[in-house]
Amino acid sequence: MNRRISSVLIILITFLIFASCGNKKAEQKQVSRIVSLGPSATEILFAIGAGDKVVARTAFCDYPKEVADIPSVGGFSSESENLEAIISYKPDMVYLFAGMHDSFIKPLENLGITVYVSDAASIKAVEDEILAVGKLTGCEVKAEEVVKQMNAELSEIKAKVTEAKNKSEREEYKMFWQIWDDPLMTAGKNSYINDIIEAAGWINIFGDVEQAYPVVSAEAVISAKPNYVIMTGSSEISGAFSNVVFDKEYIKLLHEQDDFWGVEYMGNSEITRPSPRLVNTVKEFADMMISYSKK
């Protein structure tokens, strides 16, 4: 594994694991200059109408397109970001992530800067975060509208999933989500991704594992007999899509099983971001489930 791939793995795994950490409540005062230290944070700020308050962001913040004009303070962890650079933008709020930016919290607070530490352990947590950030930024009304729209769309998706299941003779739609392949890592019960899988009407084959992002064996995946595999990470992919992900031995063995529908690699970072766009992910997976329910 080369250095670049190792860095991507560290960033992905660290973000997913520490996104489940508790949320440290920010001081309740309205802010006007924000440094965002994560893609989902930037998306939330723009979604609630606080995009004009963002004075700096990370190199991984790429949505919406307007963020391209905002200066970057570095990568997506305290190791690739510089505290002095963050402070140089004179923020009155820094929107960061537990576990990834712990070393920044105390120094920022000592300077009187509001710190909001993100928690993204579930869909509900994302909605709560949107509302909390809305209060801090004076965008409460828009934040409430965003959450209301998310819930309306999720309710519509749930109704369609329920209808499809009622019409189908099939009782289970089982999914394995490969977060990384070396080691083989997936989403457990206490993870944001598990919430996404279940909201879309699927059963996570490792949904009974308490650990948020456990390492599992290929044998365990095969014995669980998933109907479908989603991949969002591979040590053998460097940027562009590659068919090499389908050459994994456990995937070949799954294809030999009855009732296995296939595997799909999804490199789009939107899939795993705990932002308002999570609804798109739920809808995509729900449509997939509904399509298979008709077979």
Tokens of 1: 């594994």
Q: 220-271, pLDDT tens digit by residue?
A: 999 999 999 998 866 554 444 444 455 678 988 999 998 999 988 886 667 8
Q: What is the CATH number of the domain that holds 10?
A: 3.40.50.1980
Segment among 112-126, 143-157, 158-172, 225-239 with least mean pLDDT: 225-239
- The pLDDT of residue 121 is 86
Q: Is 280 exposed, middle or buried (0-12, 13-18, 19+ CB in 10 A)?
A: middle
Are residues 225 and 138 both part of a single domain? Answer: no
pLDDT tens by residue, 40-98: 999 999 999 999 999 999 999 999 999 999 999 987 655 656 889 999 999 999 999 98
Residues 110 and 158 in one domain: no
Output Rg (C-alpha) for the chain, integer angstroms.
Answer: 20
Residues in the chain: 295
Q: Mark which of 142, 174, 200 sits at the end of a domain.
A: 142
CA distance 97 to 74: 15
Total tally of structural domains belonging to the chain:
2
Residue 149 lies in a domain: no
Look at the pTM and tell me if it is higher than 0.95: no
Residue 22 has pLDDT above 50, yes or no: no
